[in-house]
Amino acid sequence: MTLTSFSQMVLPSLEADIQKVVATSTIGNDQSLTDILAYHFGWNIKGSQPGKRIRPLLLLLATESCGESWQEAIPAASAIELLHNFSLIHDDIEDKSDTRRGRRTAWKEYTLPLALNAGDSMYSLAYISMERLSQFKSEETTLQSLRIFSQTCLNLTKGQHLDISFEDQDQVSIAQYWQMIQGKTAALIASCTQLGAVIAESDPTTQEAYRQFGLNLGLAFQVHDDLLGIWGDPEVTGKSAASDILTRKKSLPILFGLEQNQDFAALWRKEITPDNVKQLAATLREEGAFDYTQKQAALLTEKARNYFQETGAQGEAAAVLEELMNLLIKRKH
């Protein structure tokens, strides 16, 4: 089994399940709220690509690799995808983003008040989806999953709070950066792998290994993404060269560069334009930010791999889970 064949096996069930849950947002025979959610997902829109569903795939693979069938984890997998998409709808409002996946963002298409509220609907639907776990599992397991889910939600908002706050802060420490990505990126991925083990009713040590595996995978993924945001190939990333410098994103290499307080930091305080951004990226690399960030990514990848070994993941699903891990860490875009 490969990631492709596993995806082909599970994604139709997952998509059908998500659509079934979203359909309950119909108000009598009024579809207008459901339409906003469907638009965000890109359903029934010509040329729209479905999402890669990486998070639910992680969850379903974790479940299978603990020896439980993925079908029993579908309510949780849908919940994770709904939660992720709720956060995208709200993030787009908070960041004033006009486009996502090549289309207008929900708030641009439907107005801010309706999209904000539709995001809240999606959040409620995520919980409604998760509560259905009790169709397959004990009430104890369902409740444990809900507790993990709620803590993940809270952590997501903590990470987002820091991310928004960083924009207006001159001084952001690397310690604050780790706190931010732990909430904003890694918490959700950690809960995917942990929930797989919880739903399979593995022992607490195994559950913790799965959680740590996901947490470090999420951190490694983000740090790698930070590297690509400055030194990635524009033809592969689909973004302009050194785009994170141009948008003044407080990513790890940039925070490292600012802490050195040398030429990069001096240039950063002046105007940044498409003309001088390559110079900034080169200076930042000379001051050691590339090596530092790559080393952090390598350390986190190593940790993720070690925890993956500790999980004792078994069977064909374990191999596919490893394939997905490698894809996330070594990806070029």
Contact residues toward a second copy (CB under 8 A) are 24-25, 27-28, 30, 32-33, 90, 93-95, 112-114, 116-118, 120-121, 123-125, 127-128, 131, 134, 139-140, 142-143, 146-147, 150-151, 153-154, 156-158, 160-162, 164-165, 179, 183
Q: 272-280: which pairs have CB atoms within 8 A and are 24 or more residues apart?
A: 272/245, 272/246, 272/248, 274/240, 274/246, 277/241, 277/242, 277/245, 277/246, 278/241, 278/242, 280/242, 280/245
- Give the whole-angstrom CA distance, residue 34 versus residue 39: 8
- Residue 28 CB, shortest distance to a second copy, in Å, is 6
- Give the whole-angstrom CA distance, residue 55 versus residue 195: 11
Strand, coil or helix: what is 8? helix
Task: Take residue 32 and report the two structure tokens written for it.
Answer: 């207008």
Strand, coil or helix: what is 100? strand
- Residue 81 CB, shortest distance to a second copy, in Å, is 17
- Tell me how long the chain is: 333
CA distances from 168 to 80, 94, 121, 172 (A): 30, 14, 30, 10
- Residue 319 CB, shortest distance to a second copy, in Å, is 35
Nearer to a second copy, 93 or 298 (CB): 93
- Residue 117 CB, shortest distance to a second copy, in Å, is 5
Nearer to a second copy, 2 or 138 (CB): 138
Nearer to a second copy, 21 or 73 (CB): 21
- Residue 120 CB, shortest distance to a second copy, in Å, is 5
Nearer to a second copy, 47 or 113 (CB): 113
- Residue 158 CB, shortest distance to a second copy, in Å, is 5
Nearer to a second copy, 124 or 326 (CB): 124
Nearer to a second copy, 35 or 322 (CB): 35
- Give the whole-angstrom CA distance, residue 182 versus residue 133: 26
